[in-house]
A and B are shown apart, each in its own frame.
Chain A
C-alpha cells in the first residue's frame, strides 16, 4: 500500500500471520516459553524464501528473501510501481483449509494483524524499500512477543495490535504495539513511558487510540468532512502570522444526521464541531452528542426546564460551555465583547488561544453562531482575519462548494455585526496524556 505526499512516500506492509501454539500445560512459565518459541518460528518464516509480498492493486510480486521481483526491477525507484497500480475488482476468495489433529492439548490460536509502515522517498529503490519493510516486520514480531507476554493474565492473552502515530518532527511516523481491546485509561503507564522515550510534552496526548494516524487512502466512514480549512490559501498580512486550530475536527452544520435544524441549530452544530475535536484528539471517548443529548445535558445541569428537550430553542456560548463541561469534562473560558467592532482588537488573545490550546472557538452574537478555527494577525499593523467555519450551511459534504462559497473561509473584521455584543467560548485543553 503506498500513500503519497509531496516528496515523501509511506510504505505500508499489512497481512495476517497465524500464531498457533500447542501447549502441553498451562502453567505460566512453560506457556511463556512456548509462546516465545512460536514467535521465533514466525520470525524465521518471514525471513524464509517462501515469503512473498504483493503490491496492492497491481500484478507486482516480490520475494524479498530470494531477491526475486516479478514485473519490476529491484533497482528501479519506487515511482515506477505506480504505473502498475490500478483498481481492480477483487477476485474470488481462496478456499479455507481445515486440518484435524487428534491429540489432547491446549491449542492457542490467534491471528496477528501485522502492520508496518516506513517513510521513504520516491527515489529510493524498490529493493531498499522492501528491505526496510522486512526489517520492520521482524522488529514488530519481537514487539508483539513482548506485549503478548507482558499482558498475559493466567491463561488469557490479548492479541497484540500495531497502531501508527504521526509524531512531531524529528520523530515522524512511529508504530507502537498495544494489547487489543485494552481501554486507553489502562494504558497510561505505557503512554508515559513512550512520552519519555520520544521526548514529548507530558500535558497532551499523542498515543491514545484516537490519535492513531489516518492514512490518506483510508476514507472516514462516517461521511463528515475533516479539516476542510487545509485546502485554503491562508492570507499573508504584513508582518502577520497565521494561528490555527491544532489537530482534527469534523465539519458539523445544518441538516446533517437527518436533523432539520435550519434556522435554529447553529450553536448546536458549532458545539458538535468542538466535541468532534475533543473526541478525535483522544480526550474523550464519547461520540458527538445529538441535539437531544445536548438539550438533555442542559436540563441535567439545571440551566433549562425539562420541556426544553425536543424543542427548537436557541442556545448560546454559555450553554456551549455548560455542555462541554457536563458531557466532556472540559472547561472553557468565556470572552465577552460589547460590540462586534471590538473583535478587531482581539488578535493577540485569539492568537494565544490557538497557540496554547489549539481548540476551535464558538462565537455567538447578532443572532448567529460561528466557529473560529484560526486567526491571521499582524502584531505591528493590527490587521486581522478570522478563519470561520459556518454551521449555517445546508448542502452536502462537498469540499469544493464549502471552500469556494466561503462556508469555510477567511473573513475580515467587517464579517461581524459591528454593534451587536458577542460571547466567545474558548475550550481549554485538559492537561493529560
Chain B
C-alpha cells in the first residue's frame, strides 16, 4: 500500500514546530488531523488544517490523505479554530 508524507507545522506556536507524518494514502483525512493534533497536544475538535497554497477549502470528511496530497502537496499547517459570537453591542472600543 502506498504511503504519502506530510510536513505539518503548528502555527500557533511561535517556534513553528513541525512533525513529519507518513500515512497510507487511503487514510481518511480527519484521522490525519486527529493524529497530528494529538502529537502536538492540541485539541483536534478546535483545530483545522490548512495548506500553504493559495486556495484551500476545508476538506470534506470523505476526502483521503492521497487526494489531499495530490491536490495540495505535503506542506500543511495546523491552526486553532476561532469561535466567535460577541457580547452584544457594547463591545467595540471605538463605540460612543
A-B contact count (CB 8 A): 118
Let me know if B89 and A336 touch, CB within 8 A: no
Cα distance A387–B57 in the bound complex, in angstroms: 25
Q: Which residues on the A side are within 8 Å of B50 (C-beta)?
A: 334, 336
Given the complex of chains A and B, what is the CA–CA distance between A409 and B92 in angstroms?
A: 12
Residues of A within 8 A of B92 (CB): 368, 390, 392, 406, 415
Rounded to whole angstroms, the CA-CA distance of A325 and B58 in the bound complex is 8
B84 adjacent to A428 (CB under 8 Å): no
Judge if A264 is at the interface, Cβ distance under 8 Å: yes
| B88 with A392: CB separation less than 8 A | yes
Contact in complex: B81, A316 (CB < 8 Å) = yes
Please measure, in the bound complex, the distance between the C-alpha atom of A332 and the C-alpha atom of B54, giving whole angstroms. Answer: 9
Cβ 8 A contact of A321, one of B11, B57, B80, B86: B57
Of B11, B85, B94, the contact of A264 (CB 8 Å cutoff): B85
Q: Is B4 an interface residue (CB 8 A)?
A: no
Q: Is the CB of A392 within 8 A of B81?
A: no
A412 (CB) vs chain B CBs: closest residue:
B94
* Chain A interface residue number, banded: 35 or more
Q: What is the CB-to-nearest-CB distance from B30 to chain A, in angstroms, rounded to a whole number? A: 8
Q: How far is the CB of B75 from chain A (nearest CB, A)?
A: 14
Task: Flag if B94 contacts A338 (CB, 8 Å).
Answer: no
CB of A283 closer than 8 Å to a CB of B? no
B91 touches A392 (CB 8 A): yes
Shortest CB–CB separation between residue A273 and chain B, in angstroms? Answer: 14
Does A202 make an interface contact (CB < 8 A)?
A: no
Say yes or no: is B82 at the interface (Cβ < 8 Å to chain A). yes
Q: Is B56 an interface residue (CB 8 A)?
A: yes
Q: How far is the CB of A314 from chain B (nearest CB, A)?
A: 4
Residue A160 interfacial (CB < 8 Å) = no
Contacts of A302 in B (CB 8 A): 60-61
| A423 and B82 form a contact (CB under 8 A) | yes
A369 at the interface (CB under 8 A from B): yes
Q: Which residues of B contact A391 (CB under 8 A)?
A: 86
What residues of chain B have their CB less than 8 Å away from a CB belonging to chain A?
Answer: 11-12, 14, 48, 50, 54-58, 60-61, 77, 79-89, 91-96
Other A-B contacts than A266-B85, A338-B12, 14 sampled, CB-CB below 8 A, are A254-B86, A263-B85, A267-B85, A301-B61, A316-B84, A318-B48, A318-B82, A336-B50, A366-B84, A368-B86, A369-B82, A369-B85, A392-B89, A406-B94
State the A residues within 8 Å of B (CB): 254, 262-267, 301-303, 312, 314-318, 321-322, 325, 331-334, 336, 338, 364-369, 390-395, 405-407, 409, 411, 414-415, 421-423, 428
